[in-house]
Amino acid sequence: MTELERQGANAKQAARRLAVSDTKTKNAALLAVAQALEEQAETWLSANAKDIAAAEEAGMKPSLLDRLKLTPERIRGVADGVREAAALRDPIGEILGETLRPNGLRIVRKRVPLGVIGIIYEARPNVTVDAAALCLKSGNACILRGGKEAIFSNRAAVEIMQRAILSAGLPADAVQLVQDTSRESAREMMQLSQYIDVLIPRGGAGLIHAVTKESRVPVIRTGEGVCHIYVDEDADPDMAATILYNAKCSRPSVCNAAECVLVHEKAAKAFWEKALPLLDTKNVQLRADEEALRILGDRARLAQSEDWDTEFGDYTLAVKTVRDLDEALAFIAQHGTMHSECIVTENADAAQRFLNEVDAAAVYWNASTRFTDGGEFGLGAEIGISTQKLHARGPMGLEEMTSYKYTIYGKGQVR
């Protein structure tokens, strides 16, 4: 038995306990975790200092270093997040349906945890705690496999959490960290279908594609976003410019940021007059098709075919001219990642067609794609944003981290 198999078996055991734990016990464990993280902040900070030192030595970019770094204030924020998870409604045990059949069988459909959730991620140490808290609240055990850059921070966080969970009477194995941060350990997780019920990769497109390709464990794809803003013939140019500026520039590194604007040929002139001054404040680089280039001139350069499928994640924007709504719909069907798509228009018929026909998790009429987020949608918190259609779509809150089962009450019925 490998180390990971042992962790998997232990997680499965823990999941059986968690599945029948009541809300009060789970909440007590979460509050204990929050308190422990604050009380033992020094331990977590000094572990983090080792990661930071190693990252500086390795020449990590300042923006990434900043994501890796913990501060007392950030730790308080993480602990508050855990308390917020405790305050959320517990989805487990909810009756989703009940039916009495003509033969007298009573069939009750009930919400249950997924079981063991594997999460493979690269990023910040706060994800370790955020993800564990949401799993715990929804009655799921988790196996966390973070990046090697954060290994000391993650170890410290998981040790603190495990002691707190145990002190609240739940199994410490509810939250486990994969110690080996090599590519091999991620591969092994993908094969562990006897222990892991669902795998959620969180990170760049490369990671997500690799997991989708290799995993035997069911996967939920998250967070790949090539999102479009379509500026319709009947768009209000001011509104379109404001929405595009927000969707592209308010936080370009996130998955709900816009990567491409589709501009109706008749709307182009009025739109760019409003949009360019805004985009210029962030020095947004434009990659435009030939028709748009005629308006944008030196302000843009010619787009290459790969630009239509790139999640830039920075201040770069692809620009495509379309002749009508049909062309916009076809372009999004071809190049979108089923994340978030937006039409800006005053024409209700065009908007309705867009809302109906675009196949994406979140389809917007006259609002920024940046709203695709568990908090913004009122789900409380999220474990990720699904871009697949199986199981869950868009922001995944606690309910989306559950399954259901049928319990059937008989009196000796046979078929």
Enumerate binding residues for a second copy (CB under 8 A). 12, 16, 19-20, 99, 101, 105, 107, 112, 114-115, 193, 197-198, 212-213, 216, 218-220, 236, 239, 242-243, 245-247, 250, 333, 355-357, 359-368, 370-372, 376-378, 388-391, 393-394, 403-415
Minimum CB distance to a second copy, residue 314 (Å): 18
Q: Which is nearer to a second copy, 15 or 75 (CB)?
A: 15
Nearer to a second copy (CB atom), residue 127 or residue 329: 329
Q: Give me the least distance between CB of 204 and a second copy, in Å please.
A: 18
The CA distance from 293 to 281, in Å, is: 20
Rounded Cα distance, 256 and 258, in Å: 6
Which residue's CB is nearer to a second copy, number 83 or number 391?
Answer: 391
C-alpha span between 315 and 313 (Å, rounded):
7
Please check whether residue 223 is in contact with residue 374, taking contact to mean a CB–CB distance below 8 angstroms: no
Residue 185 or 242: which CB sits closer to a second copy? 242
How far apart are CB 128 and a second copy at their closest, in Å? 23
Q: How many CA atoms lie within 13 A of 122 on its CB side?
A: 11
CB of residue 278 vs a second copy: minimum separation in angstroms? 11
Nearer to a second copy, 158 or 200 (CB): 200
**Min separation Cβ 75 and a second copy, Å:** 26
How far apart are the C-alpha atoms of 193 and 4, rounded to whole Å?
12
Specify the residue, 82 or 117, whose C-beta has the smaller distance to a second copy: 117
In angstroms, give the least distance from the CB of 388 to a second copy. 6
Q: How far is CA 336 from CA 186, 280, 340, 341, in A?
A: 27, 25, 8, 8
Contact indicator for 141, 37 with CB cutoff of 8 Å: no
Between the CA of residue 229 and those of 224, 242, 320, 371, 414, what are the distances in Å?
A: 16, 11, 10, 13, 57
Strand, helix or coil at 7?
A: helix
Is 237 in contact with 154 (CB distance < 8 Å)? no
Nearest to a second copy of 126, 246 (CB atom): 246
**Can you name the residues that pair with 198 across neighbouring β-strands?**
117
Kindly state the smallest distance separating residue 187's Cβ from a second copy, in Å: 14
